[in-house]
Structure 1
Amino acid sequence: MTTRWGITIPLEGVPLPDQRAVVEQMPDLGYTDVWSAEAAGTDAFTPLALASVWAPALRLGTAIVPAYTRGPATLAMSAATMAAAAPGRFALGIGTSSNVIVERWNSIPFDEPYKKVRDTVRFLRTALTGRKVTADYDTFSVRGFTLGAVPEQAPPLLVAALRPGMLRLAGREGDGAVVNWLSAEDVRTVAPYVRGAGEDKEIVARIFVAPDTDPDTARGIGRRAVAAYLNVPVYRAFHEWLGREELNPMWSKWDEGDRKGALAAIPDSVVDELIVHGPAEYCRERVRAYADNGVTTPVLAPIGQASADPAALVRALAPGD
């Protein structure tokens, strides 16, 4: 059983300054970690900076920061600042993100994603020690950068990974992997690729949860999320690799431009595999199944839960005894 239990911050639908009281309670409820994400809401670092003050016992992590959307030196400075603010309690998760976020939203070419992440990890390994970096990587060059505020303890570097190449990179050159959009059973498929480089490699899993939600509502929320994410090329390729043939009808309808048809073609069974829903105790059991199958740090990501009472949601999802 895992000794770690995380949740995604900021919580949905609650102004960031109003989340202090909830975050302060998390350690007493059994949470060990808070992890941020970065897509179209808050940036990845600001919620963690606040949490580092609100609840100094919590470990902090990014899941994830895109490797493309900050220059290498800027990313090193951001990571070093968080590591200094929370010594020994910060982990940097980086990854490719997706063509939607990188190209459509940030107008940056989504070129050579594997090499981009690999090069970024290699650069950060050196830069975060305070050594001067002058190097030509395959995807960028750095001339004479020296980090001016070196953290006492460099943060672990975790790589967001889906398929074998990136999973192996996460284990070989990173300190572990951040995984996303997979079932508890899928963990058995992905974990060996990471831990081929060492059994001590961390695996952080973002797990979408809708506790205490009736099945029809939860499946409706989940079906929309599946359609939004698993038609993005990187996630589609991941689930094709996993052999999730039940999604073929959805992908066919989506390719034809039939969005309603694609939504209707998603089977309940797939939603139930990828979105943890039901009574809170059942949700906790399903999260523990991820840990039993090889996840080191489960990170709950409430979905469709713009809650008027975020404290109740956090209590419902707490690990318990």
Structure 2
Amino acid sequence: MRHGVIIDVSKPIDGVVDQVSKLAEQGIATAWCSQIFGYDALTLLAVVGREVPDIELGTAVVPTYPRHPVMLAAQALTTQAATGRRLVLGIGLSHQVVIEGMFGYSFDRPARHMREYLSALMPLLHGEAVTFKGETLSATTMAPLDVKVDAPPVLVAALGPTMLRLAGELADGTVTWMTGPATLASHIVPSIAKAATDAGRPAPRVAVGLPVAVTTDPDRAREAASRTFAIYGQLPSYRAMLDREGAEGPAQVAIVGDEQSVANQIGAVAEAGATDFSAAPFGTSDEIRQTLALVTALAKG
């Protein structure tokens, strides 16, 4: 299992570059960048990738609705070229409250939207022209995009059965958040693996993101997780995964404890079938430092 870190994108760009540079020096496999309400993730990773060699750079995740697939393909290929083919393109639907409430787009038929989006995006990334007309979008190019670089792997934020089937059939894997090891083992991994096998595709990547805190005070850390990550317990897609796990809220799937306990819990994610793990360090500055040190040690084996 590859060990990665979800980077802190609240820093100035020079600070983000320095952060990723240190992760690369320490042997972390992947630096994952969220796309929320700050930096544009792909632009940021293009900048970082020009400054920092070797480490894989992933988006977790870029929402599809605000970007036409032709535009996202061009941006992703540009970032792939800028980073020396180190991009992992994580994409997702986002959430109804964001797509309708902020962008003013319809969130109707999200699974149909994603199937059609991938039907246009994947050929473009693989150097093909596209002529596609669906029920939720259309895309037509006169020729392939003129960016001569290999396609990045595409991971779809997929949690429900329909989305996992799409990710296995049409993409290279999935990226999850707020999904515990029992749900990974019983639902996520077997569902996407079967879909990939049925479609004749390679075994999918399953990139799992969870909050992590190495701490001497687990109760206090879980209280902090409950406050920090409260919104995720209210979003329907994550709520469904928490319910599957039997978790009251995000604090119950956060990985918290001393070094050995945290290492064991991350090991349980690997045993559940994850190919990638991305830690989202939280807590005090000392706890974050200890968490990064442990993830670095695990990455080195």
TM range (shorter): 0.7 to 0.9
Q: Which residue of 1 aligns with 2:221?
A: 218
Partners of 1:5 and 1:299 within 8 A in 2:
yes
For residues 48 and 292 of structure 2, the distance between their equivalents in structure 1, rounded to whole angstroms, comes to 15
1:200 aligned to 2:203?
A: yes
Counterpart code for 1:165 = T
Unaligned runs of 5+ in 1: 248-265
| Residues 275-286 of structure 1 aligned to structure 2 (within 5 Å) | 275-286=254-265
For residues 25 and 219 of structure 1, the distance between their equivalents in structure 2, rounded to whole angstroms, comes to 27
How far has the Cα of 1:212 moved from its partner?
A: 2.4
How far has the Cα of 1:310 moved from its partner?
A: 7.0
**Secondary structure of 1:97's match?**
coil
| Residues 1-321 of structure 1 aligned to structure 2 (within 5 Å) | 2=1, 4-9=2-7, 11=8, 13-144=10-141, 146-189=143-186, 190-196=188-194, 197-198=196-197, 200-212=203-215, 214-225=217-228, 227-240=230-243, 242=244, 244=246, 247=248, 271-272=251-252, 274-304=253-283, 307=285, 314-318=292-296, 319=298, 320-321=300-301
For residues 108 and 90 of structure 1, the distance between their equivalents in structure 2, rounded to whole angstroms, comes to 28
Q: TM-score scaled by structure 2? A: 0.87
How far has the Cα of 1:133 moved from its partner?
A: 2.1
How far has the Cα of 1:300 moved from its partner?
A: 0.9
For residues 71 and 16 of structure 2, the distance between their equivalents in structure 1, rounded to whole angstroms, comes to 27
C-alpha distance 217-12 of structure 1, shift in aligned 2 (>3 A): farther
Partners of 2:42 and 2:79 within 8 A in 1:
yes
How far has the Cα of 1:216 moved from its partner?
A: 3.0
Q: TM-score scaled by structure 1? A: 0.82
**Secondary structure of 1:158's match?**
strand
How far has the Cα of 1:243 moved from its partner?
A: 6.1
Partners of 1:81 and 1:151 within 8 A in 2:
no
Partners of 2:31 and 2:57 within 8 A in 1:
yes
**Secondary structure of 1:191's match?**
helix
How far has the Cα of 1:107 moved from its partner?
A: 1.9
C-alpha distance 310-211 of structure 1, shift in aligned 2 (>3 A): closer
For residues 224 and 309 of structure 1, the distance between their equivalents in structure 2, rounded to whole angstroms, comes to 17
Q: Deviations over 1:142-186 (max 9, x none)?
A: 233545432421111111111111112111111111111111222
How far has the Cα of 1:210 moved from its partner?
A: 2.0
For residues 51 and 313 of structure 1, the distance between their equivalents in structure 2, rounded to whole angstroms, comes to 23
For residues 158 and 13 of structure 1, the distance between their equivalents in structure 2, rounded to whole angstroms, comes to 24
For residues 18 and 144 of structure 1, the distance between their equivalents in structure 2, rounded to whole angstroms, comes to 39
For residues 145 and 79 of structure 1, the distance between their equivalents in structure 2, rounded to whole angstroms, comes to 19
